[in-house]
Structure 1
């Protein structure tokens, strides 16, 4: 069975976004370039971990290789919604990160969920942070699975991190007592033995 690699090196636009109301949102990564748009579905925790690990990767690239990494997004923040229609190409099982020293770019790879991903216990294993000195391709890992690959400048990566964090934070506010998301229809807080408040 053949697999598809959707490569955008670089994309015209690469963002995290959602479809649906808070509490019932679906999260997507969407890349646009060369007249095509590719959207892949993933979990909220994966978006949050991707932003966190990407931040760590940029800091490490700056420390080890002296790469100029902007502290804040250099261009105007991308607040536009996802491009429609949002057609899911696949559901992400694994996210990989690498830094290409030769081109001073970040490579993000979203790999489709396979049979081995359905047995995974920990969400922490969904993002692999790699700092590579040029050869970020490992075709033997997850061979046969569809993937989305984007190559970003440090400034574009910083813009992605900023938007991803805003998208994650835009959900339902947490309960001040238990930290679980508040539901507009009512909240069964375990700190109150399940009574509505």
Structure 2
């Protein structure tokens, strides 16, 4: 299974999904909020618990509803264990007929492959629009910079260290902004 995200027109983002047996696109309108960012938040929650090997969260399952004027898409994202693939199920729903439900895909994707695809999608959107242009084209949300920096740093094998803080203020830990900016400034030709 492969996934690619693209802004295709003002205020409209699509997910291009392909597998061995299927190829399709689903869209989400900015008129219904930034559900793209909500989807990324769900994926990055998984990313963090895998990175921390926090088995307390497994099995894990969550949903995100992408809405459009006539058709909605319900993403169900699940994982059985820290070492398993991510399972993605997408159901097509009707905004006018609540009984209508068609499963478009229900497949596993390797964790690394999914996050590589997200990184590539963000890299292309950044190259196409820039930070401010992304906001103007997508209309409802800022460029997902935290996700982009996290994935790019991992690809470049850069450890974004926390700035020092007092132990009782541990929740206030932050990344060094110069390190974050350094990751952004790494040229695409250096990226793998």
Shorter-chain TM-score: what band? 0.3 to 0.5
TM-score by length of 1: 0.45
Greater fraction helix: 2
- More RCO (CA 8 Å, sep 6+): 1
TM-score by length of 2: 0.46
